[in-house]
Amino acid sequence: MPYYRSTTFRFIAVTLAVGLPLSANALNTATITASSLSPDCIAYRVVGICYWLFCTPLGCSVKTSSKIHHYVPDAVVSSYSTTGENPWTEVRAMSSANASAQGGGDGSAGISHENDLAKFKNADVIGHPGGATFSQFAGQSGYSCPGAGQLLMPYFLSTLDSVAWRYNIPELVFPESVTPGMREIGSRAAGNLWGAVYPRGGFLHGVDDYKSAAVVAQRAGDIVTRRGQAHVYQPLLGSKRDGYWPAGPLKESDASTGKWQELMPSQSPTCVVFPNNAVHVQSPRGDYAWALWRPYSCCERKGQIFLGSTDFAGASE
């Protein structure tokens, strides 16, 4: 159920973001943009060769270009407790509280022995603001691939998805929701289970607030990177074309489908998947945000007709 397709809404979103004041203790657009200059997250490499048929009035010849593969920061995914208070200050007005989305936070006092603490997180998926800066940075290595994310586009706002996000309708009865071990982030056997992807809503149980927020972020990313989901959202997907292979569905714990760069409560220069053994800083307000980096492959057009590509041995997309 896609929404907000018009250029008019994009204009309104950008106007809201530019017009709001900044808070020194909050995440802001300048900080997010600077975070996109991450060699670890981009992981730029040449993975193969593309072949093009180039024709002139004098005849045709086959031209080649390098096939490259790298990650692009497509979106910022915020996972936060208080409805209407996205930690990314400039876009807060996009997801204000409404009649069907008001409360949030923990379901009890959070006493240490409460191993089944009910938590609720809002989630927003908004187009990463660092596109131009990132393109210039990536271009230093040669040719670069465009991502699917559009500047400040709201791909998912949980305040507008209340039926699915707050009541888990209809996903509460999906096989992924009722089958233990299916679509989980980590595993019980490995001792690193953070939570389940389904049902893809804002409620979950757990003591660790960081891990709970990460699970919610993964759920939001899972929704927007697929088409035809039972949620109110805009798909964050590119279209395959000659010499361009966009990212597909996000899959938990699989870096080849996407990875996360922490932006708040602390900013990280590296990208990871969930679960991981990194040191996790707990936010006192329950506010978290990550940049979602997605993998793309492409090659520079060298002719009128794309003939195909060859990947180097050991190179994967």
Tens digits of residue pLDDT in 213-265: 999 999 999 999 999 999 999 999 999 999 999 999 999 999 999 999 999 99
Residue 68 pLDDT more than 70? yes
- pLDDT number for residue 101: 84
d(CA 141, CA 259): 21
d(CA 290, CA 39): 17
Q: Is residue 106 part of a domain?
A: yes
Domain extent at residue 265: 31-311
d(CA 219, CA 199): 8
Q: Is residue 38 part of a domain?
A: yes
Phi, psi of 17 (to 5 degrees): -65, -40
Bigger pLDDT: 5 vs 131: 131
The number of distinct structural domains making up the chain is: 1
pLDDT band of 11, cuts 50, 70, 90:
very low
pLDDT band of 1, cuts 50, 70, 90:
very low
Q: Is residue 316 part of a domain?
A: no
Q: Is residue 22 part of a domain?
A: no
Q: Are 177 and 169 in contact (CB under 8 A)?
A: no
pLDDT band of 15, cuts 50, 70, 90:
very low
Phi, psi of 73 (to 5 degrees): -75, 95
Q: Which residues, listed in sequence order, are joined to residue 27 by a DSSP beta bridge?
A: 88
CA dihedral 257, 261, 262, 267 (to 10 degrees): 180
Q: Is residue 59 part of a domain?
A: yes
Bigger pLDDT: 287 vs 25: 287
Q: Is residue 20 part of a domain?
A: no
Give the count of beta carbons closer than 10 Å to the beta carbon of residue 116.
Answer: 9
CA dihedral 257, 163, 227, 300 (to 10 degrees): -60
- pLDDT number for residue 105: 65
- pLDDT number for residue 133: 83
Q: Is residue 5 part of a domain?
A: no
Residue 80 pLDDT more than 90? yes
At 82, which amino acid appears? T
pLDDT above 90 covers what percent of the chain? 76
Strand order in the sheet with 118-120: 105-106, 118-120, 203-205
- pLDDT number for residue 316: 56
- pLDDT number for residue 143: 87
d(CA 8, CA 5): 9
Q: Is residue 67 part of a domain?
A: yes
What is the model's pTM? 0.87
- pLDDT number for residue 137: 83
